[in-house]
Amino acid sequence: MPVFDSRSFKDHEQVVFCADKETGLKAIIAVHSTTLGPSGGGIRFWDYAAAHRHVAPGDIAETRGEEDAIYDVLRLSRGMSYKNAMAGLRLGGGKSVIIGNPRELGTPALMEAFGRYIQRLGGSYYAAEDVGTSPTMLASVAKSTSYVSGLDSGEFATGDPSPHTALGVFVSIQAAVKHRLGKTDLAGVHVAVQGVGHVGLYLVGHLIKAGARVTITDIVESNIEAAKALGDVTVVEPAAIHAVDCDVFAPCALGGGLNPKTIPDIKASVIAGAANNQLEHEGVQDEDLRQRGILYAPDYVVNAGGIISVEAEVHREKVSDAEREAKVLRIGDTLATVFAASDKQRRPTGEVANEMAEEIIRKAGEHKNLAAE
């Protein structure tokens, strides 16, 4: 199973495999970079083998699932380095994945066992919530490690990052609409939101308030009902959302939604959403979108609001809500810079953003080396 040869491995500092027989824990922690500060990134709890079970028997499905988990944690941790760099944070990039179904395996004992592994890294990785983990699960992790952020309680606790992520997505949509459609407000702009979970629901609230026309989908009926309670929304089937005839497509469910099957059907001229890893293959789909005249707002720039909100917690600092909000609002300016560079260089926005992030990290590394001499 390749790690160093994986196509998502790129100069990672440390990759740790964790197993605890008693609780059934199988997890991987990837620290991509600590150049800008301790690496920060969420714990994803996901049954990676599930996608393979219907085509491959037992062991093979599990092995393929593990390969997917390695690919995911390496790619996500690198994405966190880029996200934190572009958001101007004093945080490096890391991520962890726990392999398995969180509903079956996610006991307090397993989360606590995982916390012991995080503790052993001595603060080079700070965990937070991600898909499959909840504030309650994080509280269990925090029993065995102090390197957790996004907690509900405690002196520096910053709580649920989702509203901040949603605000960041909202200002990203504003910036992208301004750049592509020349509109300075969202009144009458039609936005299709894929997934109205923690982030998507707050986003729908902002959009309705701004006078946008909103179409939504979700695979969970109660989430659709919660979005309908916010105001006038149109609901479509999950399989139809990317093809809605709208101005903006906002993927706020899971990654990989921008692929050769979906892209030809997309009618929106802007894509800006919270989901991580929206492009199935970086460098391929972002160029495809550019050539089709669709403005893609790089996902990790758009969804940085959550990590912006927890930065102070990692550094044990107190910041006011206004300071935090100001940092989230700056996401719009960062995107405007990426869009302008992409237009000028005639290169995809994703590639341009990656280069900008790498440059920030490279310069910080040089600075650190000089200071150490």
Catalytic residues: 95
Is residue 262 a contact residue for ligand NAD (CB under 6 A)?
no
Query: What is the Cα–Cα distance from 72 to 27, expressed in whole angstroms?
Result: 12
Q: Is 100 left (phi over 0), alpha (psi -120 to 50) or beta?
A: left
DSSP, collapsed to helix, strand or coil, labels residue 63 as: helix
Is residue 77 a contact residue for ligand NAD (CB under 6 A)?
no
Stretch that binds ligand NAD, among 135-143, 204-212, 246-254, 261-269 (CB under 6 A): 246-254
- Find the helix or strand (DSSP H, E) in which 113 lies: helix 108-120
Q: Which residues contact 321 (CB under 8 A, 6 or more apart)?
A: none
Is residue 272 a contact residue for ligand NAD (CB under 6 A)?
no
Contact set for ligand NAD, span 290-319 (CB under 6 A): 303, 306
User: Radius of gyration over alpha carbons of the chain, in Å?
Assistant: 20
Least distance in Å: CB of 5 to ligand NAD?
26
Query: What is the Cα–Cα distance from 70 to 340, expressed in whole angstroms?
Result: 34
Please pick, from the candidates 73, 87, 167, 252, the single residue that binds ligand NAD as defined by CB under 6 A.
Answer: 252
Is residue 96 a contact residue for ligand NAD (CB under 6 A)?
no
Query: What is the Cα–Cα distance from 143 to 155, expressed in whole angstroms?
Result: 15
Is residue 79 a contact residue for ligand NAD (CB under 6 A)?
no
Contact 56, 48 (CB under 8 A): no
Is residue 275 a contact residue for ligand NAD (CB under 6 A)?
yes
DSSP state of 27: E
Query: What is the Cα–Cα distance from 147 to 119, expressed in whole angstroms?
Result: 7
Least distance in Å: CB of 202 to ligand NAD?
8
Query: What is the Cα–Cα distance from 237 to 184, expressed in whole angstroms?
Result: 30
Q: Which residue, 119 or 234, has its beta carbon nearer to ligand NAD?
A: 234
Is residue 73 a contact residue for ligand NAD (CB under 6 A)?
no
125-129 and 213-217 as β-strands: parallel, antiparallel, unpaired? unpaired
DSSP state of 143: T
Least distance in Å: CB of 203 to ligand NAD?
9
Please pick, from the candidates 34, 39, 174, 217, the single residue that binds ligand NAD as defined by CB under 6 A.
Answer: 217
Residue identified by tokens 């009144």 is 187
Least distance in Å: CB of 64 to ligand NAD?
21
Q: Which among 369, 342, 333, 315 has a CA at the least distance from the CA of 38?
A: 315
Contact set for ligand NAD, span 149-178 (CB under 6 A): 161-162, 165
What residue is closest to ligand NAD based on CB?
A: 197
For residue 4, the one-letter residue type is F
Contact set for ligand NAD, span 97-156 (CB under 6 A): 130-131
Is residue 223 a contact residue for ligand NAD (CB under 6 A)?
yes
DSSP string, 114-129: HHHHHHHTTTSEEEEE
Is residue 276 a contact residue for ligand NAD (CB under 6 A)?
yes
Query: How many CB atoms are located within 10 Å of the residue 359 CB?
Result: 11
Q: Which residue, 34 or 194, has its beta carbon nearer to ligand NAD?
A: 194
Contact set for ligand NAD, span 172-211 (CB under 6 A): 194-200
Please pick, from the candidates 219, 240, 326, 340, the single residue that binds ligand NAD as defined by CB under 6 A.
Answer: 219
Stretch that binds ligand NAD, among 1-9, 173-181, 214-222, 349-357 (CB under 6 A): 214-222
Judged by the rule CB under 6 A, the positions of this chain that interact with ligand NAD are 130-131, 161-162, 165, 194-200, 217-220, 223, 238, 252-255, 274-276, 303, 306
